[in-house]
Amino acid sequence: MSTIETERPQARYALGHSPEEYDRLRTQARVWEDATGRLLDRVGLGPGASCLDAGCGPGETMRLMAERAGPTGRVLGIDTDSSLGAMALASLHDEGHRQCSFRAQDLTGGEPIPGAPFGLVYARLLLFHLPQRAAVLARLWDAVAPGGHLLVQDYDVRGITVLPALDSVGELMRVVGGVFHAVGADVHAGARLPQLFAQAGVGHPDGVDVAGRLEPFAVGRAFLERVFRSVLPVALAYGIITSAGATELLAVLDRDAARFPDCSMGWPLLIGAWKRKEQA
Ligand SMILES: C[S@@+](CC[C@H](N)C(=O)[O-])C[C@H]1O[C@@H](n2cnc3c(N)ncnc32)[C@H](O)[C@@H]1O
């Protein structure tokens, strides 16, 4: 087990910007590739399309967009994290997706979204983190071209279940939930997408999709542990857990995974909602 370091949070984004978190995001994106690809197809993303991936992170959805939009399309990723964006773009270009570009920008700021309007504006696991989620969603809707689509996917952590229930997982969720609460995130953002669409002036979604995942606890606990490790610096800074408590919790989680390797563990639900903008 690696050492746990204490540091002050630099920003309100709770998951941080470590190489381990970048790797976790890439792994998580592979898990949800089918669930996202099926919605990109559902809204009819095809050759020549112009796409925005808001909060693109490691650029894995940009790849799915580029594959569908083809060389005549364009795919822009926007994220506050310029290092992660640069890595994403280098790897997309290496794979031949030259129609991809990246812009470092804080979507909660007032700067216009470059290149708007787009035929598809997409955001996955972004609004969850933003206290200003309705205002950002309204800006994303403004960036949709007439006849184009807004498509959002976000988590509801109520999908996280272990059978039988384990105290270690309950405690881990207390810490993770406490961190997200402290920074103004919404751990039920996915389930609230229809209300959020209405609040942002988008209107009722044309469709809603719910994706889930069930794994043996021996496998799925890695997801929980990696999220825990990513939010830990913020948890320590806010006094939600002590360093000793975190070390003990991870040890108990190890023991529980050895005792109950086959018990079922649900991931958070990934909930999608989309809306087509009427032609002017
Ligand atoms: C959980 S990650 C999801 C990344 C990607 N959408 C995916 O599903 O793989 C959230 C991303 O949103 C970015 N982000 C957070 N706040 C942001 C903001 N205010 N403006 C733009 N990007 C932001 C983070 O840097 C991070 O890359």
Ligand 1 atom nearest to 109, measured from its CA: 19
* Strand 100-104 to 74-79 pairing: parallel
- The greatest distance separating any two alpha carbons of the chain, rounded to the nearest whole angstrom, comes to 60
CA gap 32, 51 in Å, rounded: 19
In tens digits, what is the pLDDT along the chain, a chain of 280 residues? 333 333 333 347 999 999 999 999 999 999 999 999 999 999 999 999 999 999 999 999 999 999 999 999 999 999 999 999 999 999 999 999 999 999 999 999 989 999 999 999 999 999 999 999 999 999 999 999 999 999 999 999 999 999 999 999 999 999 999 999 999 999 999 999 999 999 999 999 999 999 999 999 999 999 999 999 999 999 999 999 999 999 999 999 999 999 999 999 999 999 999 999 998 7
Distance 207 CA to ligand 1 centre (A): 23
CA distances from 259 to 111, 166, 216, 245 (A): 52, 11, 12, 21
Q: Coil, strand, or helix at residue 278?
A: coil
Q: Are 140 and 71 in contact (CB under 8 A)?
A: no
125 phi and psi angles, rounded to 5 deg: 55, 35
Distance 236 CA to ligand 1 centre (A): 22
Tell me, using a 6 A CB cutoff, whether residue 21 lines ligand 1.
no
Q: Are 152 and 272 in contact (CB under 8 A)?
A: yes
CA distance from start to end of the chain: 58
Q: Coil, strand, or helix at residue 4?
A: coil
The confidence score (pLDDT) of residue 280 equals 74
Amino acid identity of 236?
L
Ligand 1 atom nearest to 29, measured from its CA: 9
Residue nearest atom 4 of ligand 1, based on CA coordinates: 57
Tell me, using a 6 A CB cutoff, whether residue 79 lines ligand 1.
yes
How deeply is 146 buried, as exposed, middle or buried, from its count of CB atoms within 10 A (0-12, 13-18, 19+)?
Answer: exposed
Distance 134 CA to ligand 1 centre (A): 16
Distance 107 CA to ligand 1 centre (A): 10
